[in-house]
Structure 1
Amino acid sequence: MKLVKSLFATTAILAGVAAFGVNANAAEVEHTVTSSDTLTSISLKYYGDTDHVQAIATANKIANVDLIIDGQVLKFDTDKDVTTSSDTTAAAPANQTTSQEESSAATTNTAYSGRTITMESTAYSSDPADALGGGTVTATGQNLLENPMAVAVDPSVIPLGTHLYVEGYGEAYAVDTGSAIQGNIIDVHFPTAAQCDVWGRRQVQVTILDN
């Protein structure tokens, strides 16, 4: 999600500063964590993709992207342009770049304990524009409008209710089924048909997080 902001020029300097102050926070979001939230689902909800997990974590000084607390208030800016500051860039010490790279590497290489399976993955959506999509409630009763992170599985391969980590998608639970989901294949849910098109059909590593 990207909010469009406009700044009306005025001849009075103070008025101009005030106008900027009003609009500068137009894209700032405050989200109160619930028990069903993950940073991946929050990124998906506010940005429309799962690529902003680290940005949200960094904005809220979260060291472990897999650990957020029920009731925690997260604040972040969904406007990418606003998050970039030339002053901050200029003042950043050389070792800051190294720290950011190490942080990124740590996120990418986060160890998930459990059995890992190589599976084929497709994507589905509750979006009415998706002709192959389903409804808004999964086979186990999860409301996809409230929590879009969901995976459809063949219960004979992965039991319903299993906690998973899907490469490139994130953490979710096996909460749905589908007539085409038979054998070594999973179907990951996205809010929009366009996101499903981007995901396509791919091979992924699926880690079973439940012991």
Structure 2
Amino acid sequence: MKLVKSLFTTTALLAGIAAFGVNANAAEVEHTVTSSDTLTSISLKYYGDTDHVQTIATANNIKNVDLIIDGQVLKFDTDKNVTTSTEATASQASQTTTQDENQTGYSGRTFTMESTAYSSDPADALGGGTVTATGQNLLENPMAVAVDPNVIPLGTHLYVEGYGEAYAVDTGSAIQGNIIDVHFPTAAQCNAWGRRQVQVTILDN
């Protein structure tokens, strides 16, 4: 992950203004998104908790908190809107198991899984076509996830961190075990997603 750049990191400042510059700008950070990043992980890195996803999104005019792009530069001030919540002071184990519910409003059994991405884009040499294993037309409804049916049954309603709400409607020869493959309309979006670990919440009761 690239080093965070402080906006005030100009060396050799005059001694008389150095203290003022640090105090004024020390909390302003710049983060370049990598394929493994989510707003949740970025919030945890800079704020020490997962309660500031919306703060980062608002500062960068992000409308969909579940979609950030590899290479995107985020700028935000860690001194602004800093609050302490019950979730932030809970034990690490409790915070991990409830993280998805706290940030998204979704609750259910949650698993950490490896995630790749595929598309129905003709430009994607590894694309899987436009119709899923269960018959969903990806051109009409692009939100779809390929799974190993032995791990997550087909038809399962789920929420994937960083992707959104979808159904397990597809399979793939490379999708075996603790891995899911999320669908995007374009090859560029797949490349931006890359390969990452995500929290997968099963929404079916």
Give the TM-score normalised by the residue count of structure 2: 0.51
Q: What code does the residue aligned with 2:122 have?
A: P
Is 1:189 the counterpart of 2:183 in the alignment? yes
Written as runs of structure 1 = structure 2, the 5 A alignment for 1:49-88 is 52-53=63-64
- Distance in 2 (CA, whole Å) between partners of 1:142 and 1:161 is 11
Picking from 142, 146, 160, the partner of 1:148 is: 142
- Distance in 2 (CA, whole Å) between partners of 1:164 and 1:115 is 10
Deviation, structure 1 residue 167 = 0.2
Match of 2:133 in 1: 139
Picking from 157, 170, 176, the partner of 1:176 is: 170
Q: What code does the residue aligned with 1:131 have?
A: A
Match of 2:200 in 1: 206
| Divergent runs of 4+, >4 A | none
**1:62-88 superposed Cα distances (whole Å, 9 cap, x missing partner):** xxxxxxxxxxxxxxxxxxxxxxxxxxx
Which structure 1 residue ranges, 5 or more long, are not aligned? Answer: 1-50, 55-96, 99-106
**CA root-mean-square deviation:** 1.9
Give the TM-score normalised by the residue count of structure 1: 0.50
Match of 2:75 in 1: none
Deviation, structure 1 residue 128 = 0.7
Match of 2:161 in 1: 167
The alignment-based identity, stated in percent, is 87
Secondary structure, counterpart of 1:109 in structure 2: helix
Deviation, structure 1 residue 108 = 7.4
- Distance in 2 (CA, whole Å) between partners of 1:209 and 1:185 is 18
- Distance in 2 (CA, whole Å) between partners of 1:206 and 1:109 is 13
Q: 1:195 to 1:108 in 2, by over 3 A?
A: farther
Deviation, structure 1 residue 168 = 0.2
Q: What code does the residue aligned with 2:125 have?
A: A
Q: What code does the residue aligned with 1:180 have?
A: A
Which structure 2 residue ranges, 5 or more long, are not aligned? Answer: 1-61, 66-79, 82-100
- Distance in 2 (CA, whole Å) between partners of 1:125 and 1:111 is 28
